Chains A and B, each alone.
Chain A
Amino acid sequence: AQSVSQHNHHVILSEAASLELGCNYSYGGTVNLFWYVQYPGQHLQLLLKYFSGDPLVKGIKGFEAEFIKSKFSFNLRKPSVQWSDTAEYFCAVTITGGGNKLTFGTGTQLKVEL
């Protein structure tokens, strides 16, 4: 079965710092990759997704992620974080032939300090 690993459980950054959150998946076949964000007290919202084509994906609020197939990775980046980016970030995967079901990583709690 597929799995998703997020190695950074808690990240604390100052405003304007650059962000990179790691995400690795284990599955040998074709995957679709997602990053969701959960702001405090809110539901999950899609930040960006990779389905096919250009491995560098741009999402909302200045976030981007790069799919590196050889490394089974889909890291999330943002050049300059803001206090309002404080949230929990989840990487997730669906696999071809597995139905459109998301398998989530355990999440990374990001705190941005002023």
Chain B
Amino acid sequence: DQQVKQNSPSLSVQEGRISILNCDYTNSMFDYFLWYKKYPAEGPTFLISISSIKDKNEDGRFTVFLNKSAKHLSLHIVPSQPGDSAVYFCAASYYNDYKLSFGAGTTVTVRA
């Protein structure tokens, strides 16, 4: 049973607009969350992370929000650019366990 769920397999957004990707988790032991980005024919690359002691982390155009009570996190990309078209994976781990559990991924397409 998947402990990290991304229920939207795809998202299409116009260039310059906001992209919002959602992720839910079931394991209450998770305390560290990450987003990875993957282009075709490449491996996933780390994008941004957040610890459970925070509810927001920002890095340039990318912001991750964490709602622990709802076991929900989201990734906001503002503004969206054509180079953001990729598959985005949500991942989670817990203290002293460095294995990552991944969601199924969301394919983002940014339209010109």
Q: Do A and B come from the same complex?
A: no
B residues lining the A interface (CB < 8 Å): none
Contact residues of A with B, CB < 8 Å?
none
